[in-house]
Amino acid sequence: MPIPYPEGPGLTEEEHPATARAELAALPGSFGRLLAVEPEEHALRRLLSTLVDLVPEADSAALLATQGGRLALAATIGLEEGAADEVGDGFARRVAEHGDVGAIEVTLGPDAPFPAGTRCGAAVRMAAPEGPAALLLGSRSAAAFDPRALALLAVAADRAAVTLERALLRRERDAAAEEARRTREEASSRRNAVDFILGIVGHDLRNPLGAIHMSAALLQKRGALEGWQARAVERMRSSAGRMNRIIADLLSYTRTRLGSGVPVLRRPGRLDEIARRAVDELQAANPDRALVVEARGELSGEWDPDRLEQVVSNLVSNAIDHGDPEAPVRVELSADGEEACTLRVANRGPPMPPEVLSHVFEPFSRPPEDKSRKGSGLGLGLYISREIVRAHGGEISVSSNDETVMTVRLPRRGPADGPGPADPRPGG
């Protein structure tokens, strides 16, 4: 598309057709030089320098942008030293605040920020992200800028607008990243503080609670208690046992959060024998529920029996508490080839909602509307089970449709690169 030349004195295409054609032919290369300047904030002054180089009659250029709510000079070339950063009312501000986006205004005798002696100035209003902005070009020698100069000014203004937008996005990204980092650090600090307090509380409560439990058991053994006395002592013993299990969960939780995971002490054993011990204990505590154990295949391996009993106990207790009381809880044990064994605990009942299923193994994940018999639990059982299974190199998963099934896959042997962490349990 031909670029019209200004009327009146100066160069016209009719008077100097060869010069006009040469300038038109040189425009793509000039545009290329402007577009080659990287759109980075530190390169704004280089963009202005390139523009002044491409327009021989220009001797000053300035980028006027909104910064911190005020209109100020963001980059300059050829301006007088000591010129004020902020621009008052005048040509530059009128263009930045009221000119049409992309429109070019030309005037004689422009005011600040151009240096003294400037005869003409041109400006392009820019679509900048933080507010009004304009790119200015000044000349002491020319009475007006020709269309080629104005076209280059428009291209440079577009490049400067992209640069300002990228700079703002980078600052916002960096600020968001810093805020996220501070939030993560604060959340981590709070979690560590809570975990540390839970560990102290759980540890310090064990001894007095053990004394209560032993005293209640001694009173039961000695006998000679009347009916109401026997019932009261049984409630004490039962409540102390439940509190002891909660404290044990807290201690296991804090070990996994503050340490390097659940320590395991492997020794040869059979998964069916381990599971039956845990199920027999739960059957005695729940005589009205049907608990069925089915074992198939070779189930020997090297595991931590105490830890796996805890897993079975947690999974079966969860099935008892949340399953249909009229349906049996099934514990299925099977060989999974020569390398692993599988434990499945299934109960019939309402399926878990997706929002519960997605974080069922996370700590303190009991839903607020849960009204099961395990109302005093902390929602740590499944989390601890997951950590114990992981410490054995295994995997645990859950599915829930007509029945809910917890599936544990356990390698028969531990890693061959050395023993696991030391076991902090008494005698371990």
Whether the predicted pLDDT of 299 surpasses 90: yes
Cα 400 from Cα 395, distance rounded (Å): 17
Tell me the pLDDT band of 427, cut-offs 50, 70 and 90: very low
In DSSP terms, 134 is beta-bridged to 64, 125
Tell me the pLDDT band of 206, cut-offs 50, 70 and 90: low
The reported pLDDT for the residue numbered 424 is 44
- pTM of the complete model: 0.48
Cα 106 from Cα 123, distance rounded (Å): 7
Tell me the pLDDT band of 222, cut-offs 50, 70 and 90: confident
| Domain 184-258 matches domain 267-411 at the CATH topology level | no
The reported pLDDT for the residue numbered 141 is 87
The reported pLDDT for the residue numbered 384 is 84
Helix axes 305-322, 271-285, angle to 10 degrees: 40
The reported pLDDT for the residue numbered 1 is 30
**Domain topology for 184-258:** Helix Hairpins (1.10.287)
The reported pLDDT for the residue numbered 372 is 47
Class of domain 17-172: alpha beta
Architecture of the domain delimited by 267-411: 2-Layer Sandwich (3.30)
The reported pLDDT for the residue numbered 175 is 92
In DSSP terms, 133 is beta-bridged to 65
Higher-pLDDT residue of 72, 106: 72
Whether the predicted pLDDT of 330 surpasses 60: yes
What burial class does residue 287 get, using C-beta atoms within 10 Å of its C-beta: 0-12 exposed, 13-18 middle, 19+ buried?
exposed
Domain limits, the chain: 17-172, 184-258, 267-411
Average pLDDT taken over every residue of the chain: 78
| Pair 347, 324: CB distance under 8 Å | yes
**Contact residues for 415 (Cβ-Cβ < 8 A; gap 6+):** 393
